[in-house]
Amino acid sequence: MAHDHDHNAPAPMVEEVSDFEALEIAVRELAIEKGLFSAEDHRRFTEFAEHIGPTPAARMVAKAWLDPEYKKHCLTDAIAASKAVGVDWLNPTGFGTPSDYTDLRVLEDTPTMHHVVVCTLCSCYPRPILGFQPEWYRTPNYRRRLVRWPRQVLAEFGLSLPAEVEIRVEDSNQKCRFIVMPVRPAGTEGWTEDQLTEIVTRDCLIGVALPKPGVTSNIPLPVHRAAKPAHH
Amino acid sequence: MSQHDRTHHAKIATGKGDPQCFKGTADGPPKFKVGDRVRIKHLPDIFYTRCQVYTRGAVGEVAVVTHESPAPEDESFGHVDHSEWFYIVRFKQRDLWPEYPEAFANDTLQTEFSERWLEAA
């Protein structure tokens, strides 16, 4: 009946469900019927997975800034080094958390080289240590443009780097997962691990931002007064 | 594949992780080492691949020999009996994109390939 629907009809008051969402629900319900896991198991795992954030990775970087031995460990065996920040990639599923591959690589920036991570194929991301991807990381726009115009895309994020700094794009297209270890910024001399952890935000770990003293993900944002406030 | 065991992956990967569960399953030692110049082959990819078209034919340098795993072209159809070595290859951006500005000639890009995609350059 596609030919006679009303083109002026209001938008339907329902959520749009994609084919993949319908597929996920179907597979999940079959697995529950079969007894592979219960609906409550599924809810608990979802709650667990959605609570993972970038803090462990931020702490990993902060620790590495303070401890050269730990830094070496991160650069040679990041899966093992993750345990020091409370992330065991094999728990609770036994083979990747949440259902991710377990080969993490830490990309170390230097004063003359900056890394930035993308997955051109889909949205591969080290979820066990960073949590879920930001929406923009999954968009075709970011994926197709970052590999080809990295400086322009980084500039859109507010990061402009001089030509002397090599930009190295890491296209994460197989089983390796990546986080960026930025250079410890000036002005953080004598800081504690907790203080350093705060400035290593998610975007610094993807490589679209650099850590700065005073810039954290939980900083109070300025409130701008409306130019023409409404009076009720 | 009607008798495909859908718990196969969990059985082999539990307690080890993936790709660690495929360690030692490639036919032999890695064919390339860090620093080797390699060209990306232009193989057919009619069903599935993770080898991006923008790298086909380009020449780069092996940056890391990462691990052994079945190639995605096989694994996506459940064929996990044969593994290959994987390599992170580093390219000069100017070798990938003809219009990449000369002012940023130092810029690089790294991405990963299974051994079937590489030939010595």
By CB atoms closer than 10 A (0-12, 13-18, 19+), residue B36 is middle
pLDDT tens, N- to C-terminus, chain B (121 residues): 446 677 788 888 999 999 999 999 999 999 999 999 999 999 998 899 999 999 999 999 999 999 999 999 999 998 888 999 999 999 999 999 999 999 999 999 999 999 999 999 9
Give residues with Cβ within 8 angstroms of A209, minimum separation 6.
A157, A158, A159, A201, A203
Contact A173 B112 (CB under 8 A): yes
Say if A94 is an interface residue toward chain B (CB within 8 Å).
yes
ipTM, 2 decimals?
Answer: 0.95
Residue A59 CA to residue A108 CA, distance in Å, equals 15
Q: Where are the domains of chain A?
A: 18-49, 53-206
CB pairs under 8 A between A and B: 105
Are the Cβ atoms of A147 and B21 closer than 8 angstroms? no
The letter for the amino acid at A93 is: T
Q: Is the pLDDT of residue A56 over 90?
A: yes
Does the CB of B56 have a partner CB in chain A at under 8 Å? no
d(CA B10, CA A116): 32
To 5 degrees, how large is the angle CA A115–CA A49–CA A92? 105
Rounded to two decimals, the pTM is: 0.90
- Please judge whether A94 and B67 are an interchain contact, meaning their C-beta atoms are less than 8 angstroms apart: no
pLDDT at A210 over 60: yes
**Residue B77 within any structural domain of the chain:** yes
* Amino acid in position A221: L
B84 vs A14 pLDDT, higher one: B84
Please tell me what DSSP assigns to residue B102. Answer: G
What's the pLDDT at B1?
45
> If you average pLDDT over residues A39-48, what whole number do you get?
94
DSSP conformation class of A13: S
Pick the CATH number of A53-206 from 3.20.20.70, 3.30.70.270, 3.30.1330.10, 3.90.330.10: 3.90.330.10
**Residue A98 vs residue A123, higher pLDDT:** A123
Is B3 inside a domain boundary?
no
Task: Give the per-residue pLDDT at A232.
Answer: 65
Site of tokens 């597929």: A23
Give domain status of residue B5, yes or no.
Answer: no
Chain A interface includes B109 (CB < 8 A): yes
Contact indicator for A136, A142 with CB cutoff of 8 Å? yes
Whether the pLDDT of residue A228 is over 90: the answer is: no
Overall average pLDDT of the A118-138 stretch: 94
Find the helix or strand (DSSP H, E) in which A224 lies: none
User: How far, in Å, CA of A24 to CA of A39, rounded?
Assistant: 13
The distance between the two most distant Cα atoms of chain A, rounded to a whole number of Å, is 71
Structural domain contains residue B62? yes
Name the catalytic one among A18, A38, A82, A123.
A123
Question: What pLDDT, on a 0 to 100 scale, did the predictor assign at position A135?
Answer: 94
In the predicted model, is pLDDT for residue A94 greater than 50?
A: yes
Q: Which domain holds residue B69?
A: 22-120
Contact B108 A169 (CB under 8 A): yes
Choosing from A82, A119, A172, A204, which is the catalytic residue? A119
Number of domains in chain B: 1
> What CATH number is associated with residue B41?
2.30.30.50
* Over residues A183-200, mean pLDDT: 97
Neighbouring CB atoms inside 10 A of A167's CB total 22
Q: Per the domain annotation, does B56 fall within a domain? A: yes
A122 as an active site residue: the answer is yes
Q: Which two tokens stand for residue A23?
A: 């597929």
Q: Does A176 participate in catalysis according to the annotation? A: no
Give the pLDDT mean for A114-134: 95
**Residue A5 pLDDT greater than 60, yes or no:** no
Give how far Cα A113 sits from Cα of A76, A155, A229, B4, B98, Å.
19, 16, 47, 47, 22
Confirm or reject contact between B52 and chain A (CB < 8 A). yes
Number of H helices, E strands in chain B: 3, 5
pLDDT of amino acid B5 = 75
The answer on pLDDT for A1 being more than 50 is: no
Q: Judge whether A74 counts as a catalytic residue.
A: no
Distance, CA of B80 to CA of B72 (rounded, Å): 9
Residue A3 predicted with pLDDT over 70 = no
Average pLDDT in chain A: 92
Contact criterion met (CB < 8 Å) for B17 and A147? no
